[in-house]
Amino acid sequence: MTRRALKGLEDALGPKHTSTLLTVHNLGLLYTNQGKLAEAEAMYNRALQGYEHALGPDLMSSYIPALNTMFAFGDLFSQTDRKDMAKTMYTRALSGYAAVRGASSDICKDLEGRLQTLQLTTAETCDDASIDSKARESKSLVRRILRKARR
């Protein structure tokens, strides 16, 4: 059903229209929920590339549907043990949400928690010296993002 809706939107509005891309994102969520992770990844990637083409990188970084795709993409990367890629997506989403919704919003707090969880998971595989360094680095990154969003 979602694929048919996507086909209709592609025909009516074009494949790079933001309404079409929202359906692409939703299809990615559906695939994720069904455990079809490769298909979900393709949909999230398509949606992000489409948003960047339709909106440009600056507007995309504050467009809630694009941020939602980054968040979902981060979850997918985390689920498939690609922690560095998850961190990148979560950080991009956090930066955008902080600018749009405020650094103290629930979604920013959720993303901060996910970034910290990723850091802890990564730290379990590192030695003690690098754990402290990476933890400080992660906290510093989150603080810089939040400070930048408050300006």
Q: Is residue 67 part of a domain?
A: no
Average pLDDT (23-45) is 96
Question: 3-state class of 38 per DSSP?
Answer: helix
Q: Which one of 45, 60, 75 terminates a domain?
A: 60
State residue 62 phi and psi, 5-degree precision: -125, 10
> Which of 19-33, 34-48, 93-107, 112-126 comes out lowest in average pLDDT?
112-126
For 101, the domain range is 83-151
Q: What pLDDT shows up at residue 84?
A: 94
Judgement on whether residues 109 and 143 belong to the same structural domain of the protein: yes
Judgement on whether residues 48 and 103 belong to the same structural domain of the protein: no
Judgement on whether residues 99 and 41 belong to the same structural domain of the protein: no
Judgement on whether residues 104 and 55 belong to the same structural domain of the protein: no
User: What's this model's pTM, rounded to 2 decimal places?
Assistant: 0.79
Judgement on whether residues 90 and 130 belong to the same structural domain of the protein: yes
Q: State the Cα–Cα distance between residues 80 and 105, nearest whole angstrom.
A: 27
For the chain, the average pLDDT equals 87
Q: State the Cα–Cα distance between residues 48 and 64, nearest whole angstrom.
A: 12
Which residue stretches of 1-150 are H helix?
Answer: 2-13, 18-33, 37-60, 64-79, 83-101, 106-123, 128-150
State the total domains in the chain: 2
Q: Is residue 56 part of a domain?
A: yes
Q: State the Cα–Cα distance between residues 5 and 33, nearest whole angstrom.
A: 19
Q: Is residue 73 part of a domain?
A: no
Q: Is residue 143 part of a domain?
A: yes
Each residue's pLDDT tens digit, 57-94: 899 999 999 999 999 999 999 999 999 999 999 999 99
Judgement on whether residues 92 and 139 belong to the same structural domain of the protein: yes
The Cβ of residue 73 has, within 10 Å, a number of other Cβ atoms equal to: 27
Each residue's pLDDT tens digit, 10-26: 778 877 889 999 999 99
As a whole-number percent, the residues of the chain with pLDDT over 90 amount to 64
